[in-house]
Structure 1
Amino acid sequence: MTTTIKEDDLIQSIADGIQFISYYHPTDYIRHLARAYEREESPAAKDAIAQILTNSRMSAEGRRPICQDTGIVNVFMKIGMDVRFDTQRTLQELCDEGVRRGYLNPENPLRASVLADPLFERKNTKDNTPCILNVELVPGDKVDVQIASKGGGSENKSKFAMLNPSDSLVDWVLKTVPAMGAGWCPPGMLGIGIGGTAEKAMLMAKQSLMEDIDMYELQARGPRDKTEELRLELYEKVNALGIGAQGLGGLTTVLDIKIKMFPTHAASKPVAMIPNCAATRHAHFVLDGSGPAHLQAPALSEWPDVHWAPDYNKSRKIDLDTLTKEEVASWKPGQTLLLSGKMLTGRDAAHKRIQDMLAKGEKLPVDFANRVIYYVGPVDPVRDEAVGPAGPTTSTRMDKFTEMMLAQTGLIAMIGKAERGPAAIEAIKKHKSAYLMAVGGAAYLVSKAIRSAKVVGFADLGMEAIYEFEVQDMPVTVAVDANGVSVHNTGPREWQAKIGKIPVAVA
């Protein structure tokens, strides 16, 4: 019997699903992160996880994005061969219309991050289309749909290798994960695709991230086959690297590791690895011709009783409006600060334009002297918000501009997420500056510290424009001090040594 799917049922289901995953973590992620919080012994990592869990609950209650990077949409569709679509449009067009409606919803507008031209003009499509669509024809009379919103910070850390058949997969993973840094916002999960061809391995790695996190259940019952044995081995060994939440050093780097395999050529062993971040966002629904899908919201009781708040006894309060180079130079690695006052923002496109203007001797639209810059591309505000969710973006993308900004603009400190590379650390040390880290995956929580926001430069860049934020008690950690000491180097090293002496914990 043939099932007819109306075009608007598919469109509306995708639009609703995109809204749903923007503010609801999957319950399996919440449960596993709550367990990781309970067993975490690193104070810095525990604090970061507390912020992520608090942010997650706030997003669920406020129906606002978990992360300011609301992602590029992936749609995996299995279409029964007894299904027909009542439409004159292509599947890509239908899915894109769903994405468009989902991202432009006035009740919860999502950040448009997709650029039409990846190489030359890189112009924003302004509605986050097109999505990435994968279709498979299967027996049956239903349409099975999985959607995910994949943030750039984690997607950028995707890895692929053509290993020799005799090469060790475990060795490759343990060598590759530390090289990924913390820009993918751990703790999350790793999806690994093995076999097939290059593109098949990458597709399997991405698809595996749609599966429920079940590592604690697997640990409790034990492995049933070699693949599950490999998952357990990799889970224990990756966590033993000590990278920890946000790369600060700790017991939990991954909550789960998923593996998909496919037959491959005798001469080949293609291997792909893609991380999912602390803003893991995906949903699954089935269309049977009876109307649009309905996704069941998780109960608030699923979230643990964790409510992060600033610690005024342990954190140092900083007035950005009177900040001096001398005060910046006094900050210590790992020290927690609460920032109040005015800061500027800017990320990739703004830094490139600043570089071009300085090279031409042109006047910048804003004075950076003795100011702090926050690497962020915020979500547009709704109702009484000063700004929408506004968590940090990956700082290493700004590394090549750091010397220029510190030497030529008078900038004295920077805020972002994850580690800085050698060139940036050298510039920070040279200019006695500092780099502060905010927690990736806590965007809605961070935005509550922002009291006002206005565009002060490069308005045409949209979310990449230069804003001036006025903040009150915005939480950050000194990640690189004026002497060039990076907690993203010292923290994981310390915790890797500690973990080597701790018996492996089994749930």
Structure 2
Amino acid sequence: MPEVAEEDVIQSIAEALQFISYFHPADFIRHLTRAYEGEESAAARQAIGQILMNSRMCALGRRPICQDTGTANIFASIGVGARLRTSRSLQALVDEGVRRAYRDADNPLRASIVLDPLGARKNSGDNTPAILNTELVEGERISFDVSAKGGGSENKARFTVLEPSESVADWVVSTVEKLGAGWCPPGVLGIGAGGSADKAMLLAKQALNEPLDMFELRRRGPASKVEQLRLEIYERVNALGIGAQGLGGLTTVLDVRIRTFPTHAASLPVALIPNCAATRHVHFELDGGGPASFDPPDLADWPEVVIDQSSSAFRRVDLDNLSQAEIAEWRPGETLLLSGTLFTGRDAAHKKMVETLRAGGTLPVDLNNRAIYYVGPVDPVGTEVIGPAGPTTSTRMDRFTEELLAATGLRVMIGKAERGPAVIEAIARHRAAYLIAVGGAAFLVSKAIRSSRVVAYPELGMEAIHEMRVEDMPVTVAVSHDGQSIHQIGPARWKGRAALETS
């Protein structure tokens, strides 16, 4: 067999990561389109529509689907007869591929990996190191599964050890119901059952790289116990009514993939890892004939989705003239189009601001009667004002919210997913509001941003505070001034409806 050159590995990894940054897998788009066509919740349908619009824009413009361009997850299966010509470790080759991909001048990807997780947490600057798993298999080829896993969905990974007589489906459904919307549904659930704690988690992550076939499975019916379990979990999770972005609706999961492994007679380890609306992965093989090539999907797979923002049903908001009286008119689930000035701030910026306030200092930005957007954007290219700039999970800012609202006069927060009970109480107490942008529509959101400049904490990199001017940025009212939450109202309204629609 010809030798596989180290450059073939490096180039293939780099091109794979670039490819998945702007192309959803075709099977994912087909399943998402079916969900869009069948969704009856107006808010959820609009959210799925934005995800589909964003996906098509990214496929055409070759820019990232999501601002969180993810941790590079690499599964390498090395044939025992394969020959790799290198003096370096496979980790070093993979990391060089990741480095090239994330520093690509034509499509730079956001570096999110921090070194020394228990210490300084300094950003590596190039998204290395990758999470690499290897196994020796039969054959003479080297195959790779490459995915980019966002932090929001990864943070919702869960593990348990059930008693052998307990129900896997019951545990999964109960767990998903408690996860909230931070994993950016609709997406895919990866489940690993058996083995040990580490093996089950690995199986769940590998399951997320499998092709989606839920519509075919529902049509023909299950042919095994595993397929029967997939169907049961799919139907029961969708019957929870969580819906796209947690807004309430018929579709929360597009598919459920399960992998199993033999286990101890006294144990039933089960792992759950969700994949978000920015599901991204690709498979390729190297046989010594050169680097891998990747064929773009057919754009005909993407539906033509048009969201008319001229509708009188959408309330236009001037962020430069916010008032408590106006905010009091906003209702949970209502769509707003924001124009004017907003500031950005994520975990690190919030921590620094609160530390400054506790020390009696003055903040570098005036948040009185202003809005803050929880985002860490991708760097711009060409004539772009900013790269993809979708929201991050808001619950990570919960611990700072009360102090910031009380000390600054901040009126509006924008992010994704639900807020905790204490924050909802604080929002009501300070007569503020919490809005959500669609996670998984980062490129679409960025088109509403007309200018952007770093105004504080430049040392934080993508977590620095930006001042942005936006025009008709679409958001949904998630928590109103009186503490009503769409993430409670929406799922409660739609719970059980998916089961009725498919019965």
2:120 corresponds to: 121
SS of equivalent to 2:502: coil
What do residues 346-381 of structure 1 show as CA deviations (whole Å, max 9, x unaligned)? 010000111111111122111111110000000000
What do residues 233-292 of structure 1 show as CA deviations (whole Å, max 9, x unaligned)? 111111000000000000000000011111111111110000010000000001010100
Is the counterpart of residue 498 in structure 1 residue 497 in structure 2?
Answer: yes
Offset, 1:330: 2.1
Cα distance in 1 for residues equivalent to 2:8 and 2:308: 42
CA contact (8 A) 1:3 1:82 kept: no
Q: How does 1:196-235 map to 2 (within 5 A)?
A: 196-235=195-234
- Counterpart of 1:141, as a letter, is E
1:105 corresponds to: 104
1:451 corresponds to: 450
2:11 corresponds to: 12
- Counterpart of 2:253, as a letter, is V
Q: How does 1:57-456 map to 2 (within 5 A)?
A: 57-456=56-455
Deviates more, 1:452-461 or 1:326-335: 326-335
Is the counterpart of residue 462 in structure 1 residue 461 in structure 2?
Answer: yes
SS of equivalent to 2:3: strand
Cα distance in 1 for residues equivalent to 2:250 and 2:166: 28
Instruction: Provide the aligned C-alpha RMSD in A.
Output: 0.9
Cα distance in 1 for residues equivalent to 2:192 and 2:2: 33
CA contact (8 A) 1:66 1:442 kept: yes
Cα distance in 2 for residues equivalent to 1:187 and 1:321: 34
Structure 1 residue runs of 5 or longer lacking an equivalent are: none
What do residues 468-507 of structure 1 show as CA deviations (whole Å, max 9, x unaligned)? 110000000110001100000010010004345x2426xx
Cα distance in 2 for residues equivalent to 1:130 and 1:499: 41
Structure 1 stretches of 4+ moved >4 Å = none
Offset, 1:311: 4.2
What do residues 415-457 of structure 1 show as CA deviations (whole Å, max 9, x unaligned)? 0001111111011011011000100000000000000000010
Cα distance in 1 for residues equivalent to 2:3 and 2:323: 67
Residues 450 and 290 (structure 1), Cα distance of their counterparts in 2 relative to 1, 3 Å cut: same
CA contact (8 A) 2:251 2:498 kept: no
Cα distance in 2 for residues equivalent to 1:261 and 1:194: 5
SS of equivalent to 1:83: coil
Residues 317 and 27 (structure 1), Cα distance of their counterparts in 2 relative to 1, 3 Å cut: same
- Counterpart of 1:215, as a letter, is M
Q: How does 1:35-54 map to 2 (within 5 A)?
A: 35-54=34-53
SS of equivalent to 1:426: helix
SS of equivalent to 2:21: helix
Cα distance in 1 for residues equivalent to 2:418 and 2:479: 9
What do residues 128-167 of structure 1 show as CA deviations (whole Å, max 9, x unaligned)? 0000000010111111110000000000000101111222
Cα distance in 1 for residues equivalent to 2:292 and 2:430: 56
- Counterpart of 1:49, as a letter, is I
Cα distance in 1 for residues equivalent to 2:27 and 2:376: 28
SS of equivalent to 2:320: helix
Cα distance in 1 for residues equivalent to 2:370 and 2:17: 37
CA contact (8 A) 1:400 1:423 kept: no
- Counterpart of 1:235, as a letter, is Y
Give me the TM-score of the superposition, normalised by structure 1: 0.98
Offset, 1:312: 2.9
CA contact (8 A) 1:244 1:251 kept: yes
CA contact (8 A) 1:3 1:141 kept: no
Cα distance in 2 for residues equivalent to 1:291 and 1:197: 38
Offset, 1:306: 1.4
Structure 2 residue runs of 5 or longer lacking an equivalent are: none
- Counterpart of 2:343, as a letter, is L
SS of equivalent to 1:440: coil
Paired positions, count? 503
Is the counterpart of residue 482 in structure 1 residue 486 in structure 2?
Answer: no
Give me the TM-score of the superposition, normalised by structure 2: 0.99
Offset, 1:325: 2.2
SS of equivalent to 2:180: coil
SS of equivalent to 1:313: coil
- Counterpart of 1:170, as a letter, is A
CA contact (8 A) 2:250 2:497 kept: no
